[in-house]
């Protein structure tokens, strides 16, 4: 089959374009410390084969487990630690922020996902949550809890706000306020008809204690007081205690 020369020209031009675009996405930083070590592999056990000096620019190519592959303007290519890379500056003059698996990374987190086990009104309960760090003190969170007892199954979901009193502390208290809904379904072997399922709105307040454990993991203990607004024109109070962990990004 004979290839159309115009088609070949388009392919070559497209390849060149995507190659240039890929290069444009690479981050270029400047060294402000006396030097940056280049190692042959992504670990401190690998030997140093090159040292880039203050004032030089390097291009970051990719990341691997806390190490970054970089290349100098002279073509020396190797691996730089996150600690050293975090002391370089971007073209804008700002210091480059590099996650190092430290408590500082937690204070700068954007998203957080949690899993809990606990007791909801003397019934074992499991919970999951997703949170967005709005500011250092305020966190918006969506939660889902399921508790299966001897007589009924409860499913709860809520949207709430967390207020962290001392976010700069590794062990820090926080308070919560929110609202949501609860679905209560009696166990099928105890119910004669299908009209026993109840849906109720609720509001909640709570308090917790979080402990930064290691790298991107946090341990949490939390108490939640729930006031359910039932169809019987009264309020039902529900208490929950839970312990779990969170990972953040």
> Which pLDDT does position 15 carry in this prediction?
46
Chosen domain end from 59, 75, 99: 99
Statement to judge: residues 130 and 229 lie in one domain: yes
Backbone angles phi, psi at 19, to 5 degrees: -65, -45
| 17 is a domain residue | no
Backbone angles phi, psi at 18, to 5 degrees: -65, -30
At 249, list the tokens. Answer: 């990004």
Domain tally for the chain? 2
- According to DSSP, residue 196 is labeled T
At 231, list the tokens. Answer: 């169809």
Decide: 209 and 221 in contact? Cβ < 8 Å: yes
**How far is CA 98 from each of CA 35, 67, 193, rounded to the nearest angstrom?**
17, 10, 59
Query: Which of residues 95 and 20 earns the better pLDDT score?
Result: 95
Statement to judge: residues 174 and 200 lie in one domain: yes
Statement to judge: residues 127 and 213 lie in one domain: yes
Look at residue 236 and tell me whether its pLDDT is greater than 50. yes
Minimal CA–CA distance to 128: which of 142, 140, 139, 138? 142
**How far is CA 61 from each of CA 28, 84, 130, 134, rounded to the nearest angstrom?**
9, 15, 31, 31
Burial of 10 (0-12, 13-18, 19+ CB in 10 A): exposed
> Which pLDDT does position 7 carry in this prediction?
42
Classify 125 as helix, strand or coil: strand
CA–CA distance, 155 with 200 (Å, rounded to integer):
11
Decide: 199 and 228 in contact? Cβ < 8 Å: no
Report the CATH number that the domain containing residue 190 is assigned in CATH. Answer: 2.40.160.20
Statement to judge: residues 93 and 113 lie in one domain: no
Assign 38 a pLDDT band (cuts: 50, 70, 90): very high
CA–CA distance, 100 with 82 (Å, rounded to integer):
6
Residue 213 CB neighbours (<10 A): 14
* Mean pLDDT, residues 180-199 taken together: 73
The percentage of the chain sitting over the pLDDT mark of 70, rounded to a whole number, equals 85
Report the CATH number that the domain containing residue 59 is assigned in CATH. Answer: 2.30.30.40
| 143 is a domain residue | yes
Assign 190 a pLDDT band (cuts: 50, 70, 90): low
CA–CA distance, 37 with 129 (Å, rounded to integer):
41
Statement to judge: residues 93 and 138 lie in one domain: no
Chosen domain end from 57, 82, 99: 99
> Which of the listed ranges 21-30, 119-128, 232-241 does the model predict with the highest average pLDDT?
119-128
Tens of pLDDT, residue by residue over 73-115, are: 999 999 999 888 888 988 888 888 776 667 777 777 889 999 9
Look at residue 36 and tell me whether its pLDDT is greater than 60. yes
Assign 66 a pLDDT band (cuts: 50, 70, 90): confident
Question: How is 135-161 classified by DSSP, letter by letter?
Answer: SSSEEEEEEEEEEE-SSEEEEEEEEEE
Q: How does the average pLDDT of the chain come out, rounded?
A: 84
Query: Which of residues 63 and 164 earns the better pLDDT score?
Result: 164
> Which pLDDT does position 3 carry in this prediction?
46
What is the domain extent for residue 242? 107-248
Statement to judge: residues 139 and 217 lie in one domain: yes
User: pTM of the prediction?
Assistant: 0.64
Look at residue 230 and tell me whether its pLDDT is greater than 70. yes
Tens of pLDDT, residue by residue over 115-165, are: 999 999 889 999 999 999 998 899 999 999 999 887 788 999 999 999 998
> Which pLDDT does position 152 carry in this prediction?
82
- According to DSSP, residue 128 is labeled E
| 8 is a domain residue | no
> Which pLDDT does position 194 carry in this prediction?
53
Chosen domain end from 73, 99, 125: 99
Statement to judge: residues 88 and 124 lie in one domain: no
Decide: 157 and 181 in contact? Cβ < 8 Å: yes
Look at residue 244 and tell me whether its pLDDT is greater than 50. yes
Statement to judge: residues 94 and 118 lie in one domain: no
Minimal CA–CA distance to 75: which of 52, 46, 44, 98? 52
> Which pLDDT does position 101 carry in this prediction?
67
Statement to judge: residues 86 and 124 lie in one domain: no
CA–CA distance, 120 with 238 (Å, rounded to integer):
7
* Mean pLDDT, residues 167-188 taken together: 90
Look at residue 30 and tell me whether its pLDDT is greater than 50. yes
Statement to judge: residues 144 and 213 lie in one domain: yes
Statement to judge: residues 146 and 233 lie in one domain: yes
């Amino acid at each position: 089959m004979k290839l159309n020369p115009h088609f070949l020209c388009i392919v070559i031009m497209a390849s060149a374009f995507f190659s240039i675009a890929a290069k444009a996405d690479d981050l270029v930083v400047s060294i402000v410390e006396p030097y940056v070590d280049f190692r042959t592999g992504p670990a401190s056990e690998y030997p140093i084969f090159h040292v880039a000096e203050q004032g030089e620019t390097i291009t970051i190519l990719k990341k691997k487990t806390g190490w970054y592959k970089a290349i100098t303007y002279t073509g020396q290519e190797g691996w730089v630690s996150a600690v050293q890379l975090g002391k370089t500056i971007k073209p804008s003059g700002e210091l480059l922020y590099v996650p190092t698996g430290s408590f500082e990374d937690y204070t700068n987190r954007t998203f957080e996902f949690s899993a809990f086990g606990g007791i909801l009104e003397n019934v074992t309960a499991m919970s999951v949550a997703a949170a967005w760090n709005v500011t250092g003190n305020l966190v918006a969170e969506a939660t889902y809890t399921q508790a299966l007892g001897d007589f009924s199954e409860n499913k709860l979901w809520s949207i709430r706000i967390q207020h962290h009193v001392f976010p700069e502390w590794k062990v820090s208290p926080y308070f919560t306020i929110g609202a949501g809904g609860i679905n209560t379904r009696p166990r099928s072997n105890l119910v004669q008809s299908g009209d026993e399922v109840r849906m109720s709105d609720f509001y909640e307040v709570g308090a917790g204690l979080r402990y930064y454990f290691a790298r991107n993991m946090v341990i949490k203990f939390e108490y939640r007081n729930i006031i359910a607004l039932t169809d019987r024109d009264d309020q039902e109070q529900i208490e929950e205690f839970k312990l779990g962990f969170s990972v953040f990004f």
